Chain A
Amino acid sequence: MVNFNPPLWFVGIDSIIELFAMIVCILLVLFSFKARRYTQNRVFTYFGIAYGLIGLGFFMKSISNILINTNILNHSNSLINFFNYGFVLYLFSTLIGYLILTMVFLKIKSKKVVALITLLVLYLISFSRYYLGIFNLLATFLLFFICLSVFQNHFEKRKGSSRAVVIGFTLLFFSHLLFIAYQIGGKIIYNTLLQPNSTFYAISESLQLLAYVALLITIVRVTKK
């Protein structure tokens, strides 16, 4: 079973954070499809699909966390399976979402390059023993390039909304980086890759919450114009 062990006081809060992030993702999807309708620009479709997948991931993770933490069905096998499948779906849909965002932000148009990177990411996450570590490593890697792109955009535009986007993605980057720092630390000290401990999980989720608050601020600023 996936070991994702939140501190006791944090149980339930993580699910609320994920549901909040899911709502922000839905708002981004809705705005993207509206933009697509007006502009006929395909970039908005890809952007919307990316956030649709990330939102789906949050939904699955949140629901599976709620079910496992409320002891429904008394931890029966079917529940544990649901938790595992939900978690696996979260990993895949989040990574594919980040991957599409990277393609959009870096303006990668070559189908061969897209196929190559996608296969590489799916291969690494599917066949690795340390899939949680690999997930965070790949997410950090993709978010690093997204951050570079949004930073560059902010230096060109210098707008409040672009600053909020920079803050959002930078916080997301650090939320994934925290897990890796902990795991690599474990590898160096104990010669084994550690599962993220409860404190790191809580800090990482809190950073994620702040990141999605920043993205929500961007949406509010844009729609209030």
Chain B
Amino acid sequence: MRRNKLEIIYDILKAIQDKGGKIKPTHLLYKSNLSHKRMKEYLDSLMNKKLISVSQEKTQKMYAITEEGFKFLAEYEKIREFSDAFGL
């Protein structure tokens, strides 16, 4: 089933959270199931919204989920539960 924009954002943030809050771009590409171009667009958008941050660790770029990102995930999970409860 085709995911909407919000579900893709949720999947990206969840992937980072599941990896302990930090993830390599290659892992994220694999986990989010997006093309490189599309993933870059989403990551830029998430950084603009301050939901994730990027850092350089040795030679590797790492994406980390921010406090705002954790809050977004928690709220989104509540909304999903609400939506599931009523079948909306």
A interface vs B, CB < 8 Å? 31, 34-35, 38-40, 43-44, 47, 104-105, 149-150, 152-154, 156-157, 159, 161-162, 164-165, 218, 221-223, 225
Contacts and interface: CB of A to CB of B under 8 A. Distances in A.
Nearest to B7: A39
A43 B84 contact: no
A93 to B, nearest CB: 20
Counting chain B residues whose Cβ lies within 8 A of the other chain, the interface size class is 10 to 19
A35 B85 contact: no
Q: Is the interface of B mostly helix, strand, loop or mixed?
A: helix
Interface stretch (B23-31, B42-50, B52-60, B72-80): B72-80
A105 B87 contact: yes
Given A39-B6, A40-B6, A153 B86 contact: yes
A161 B87 CA distance: 11
Nearest to B86: A165
Interface of B: 6, 72, 75-79, 81-88
A47 B88 contact: yes
Contacts of A159: 81, 84-85
Contact of B81 (A34, A44, A222): A222
Contacts of B81: 159, 161, 221-222, 225
Given A38-B75, A225-B78, A162 B87 contact: yes
A164 B72 CA distance: 26
Contact of A218 (B72, B76, B85): B85
A34 B74 CA distance: 13
Contact of B85 (A104, A105, A149, A165): A165
B88 A104 contact: yes
A162 B84 CA distance: 7
Contacts of B76: 38
A156 B88 CA distance: 13
A162 B88 contact: no
Contacts of B82: 31, 35, 161, 222
Nearest to B82: A222
A104 B76 CA distance: 20
Contacts of A104: 88
A180 to B, nearest CB: 25
Contacts of A157: 84-85, 87
A164 B6 contact: no
Among B76, B82, B88, max chain A CB count under 10 A is at B82
Contacts of B83: 35
Contacts of B88: 43-44, 47, 104
12 contacts: A34-B79, A35-B83, A38-B79, A152-B87, A156-B87, A157-B84, A157-B85, A157-B87, A162-B85, A165-B85, A221-B81, A222-B78
